[in-house]
Amino acid sequence: MARRRPAGRGGLSPSEIADRLEEAARTLRRLPDPPGSGPRGYGRSWPEYIHEAKDAYGWHEARLRVRPSPADIQQMEECFDWLRLVPVEEAQILWWRAEGLRWREVAIRAGCVRQTAWRRWVAALATIAKKLEARG
């Protein structure tokens, strides 16, 4: 995947901002769980014990989590800063769409009709693009 230009230089289009927010959501999902995120006293250092032979030889789907690079994390944090440029309600709509929620679910969570949620999403992307270009 080719790296995009940093947001500070030149303006990003609203569609590029939406793409970067989706990348940030994917990066956040790929981050490892922090130590101590589960209940206390339930950590273990031993691997899972295999109870049956059929479970030992790859009958289950492999679970592989590729950790993001420092550059991916830096871009994700930059996107979080962008969300501060718009009101909280609009930032939530932007993030829900970046996580891949369908418009119907976004509208239900935002408490409005689908078309209004879409208009707020477009307006928030345009606002971020305008403010980034003004910073530029």
Domain range holding 80? Answer: 14-30+65-135
Classify residue 5: in a domain, yes or no. no
Q: What's the rounded Cα separation, in Å, for the pair 70 and 30? A: 12
- Within a domain: residue 91? yes
Q: Is residue 9 part of a domain?
A: no
Structure token digits, residue 124: 């928030």
pLDDT recorded at residue 14 = 95
Largest CA distance in the chain: 63
DSSP letter, residue 103: H
**22 in a domain, yes or no?**
yes
Indicate whether 37 belongs to any domain.
Answer: no
Residue 127 lies in a domain: yes
CA atoms within 13 A on the CB side of 3: 9
- Report whether 56 contacts 89 (CB < 8 A): no
Entry pTM:
0.74
Could you report the per-residue pLDDT of 62-90, keeping only the tens digit for each?
A: 666 678 999 999 999 999 999 999 999 99
Domains held by the chain: number? 1
> In this predicted structure, what is the pLDDT of residue 66?
79
Under 8 Å between Cβ of 131 and 7: no
Position 19 in a domain: yes
The verdict on residue 114 lying in a domain is yes
Instruction: Calculate mean pLDDT across residues 122-135.
Output: 95
Q: Work out the average pLDDT over 50-66.
A: 66
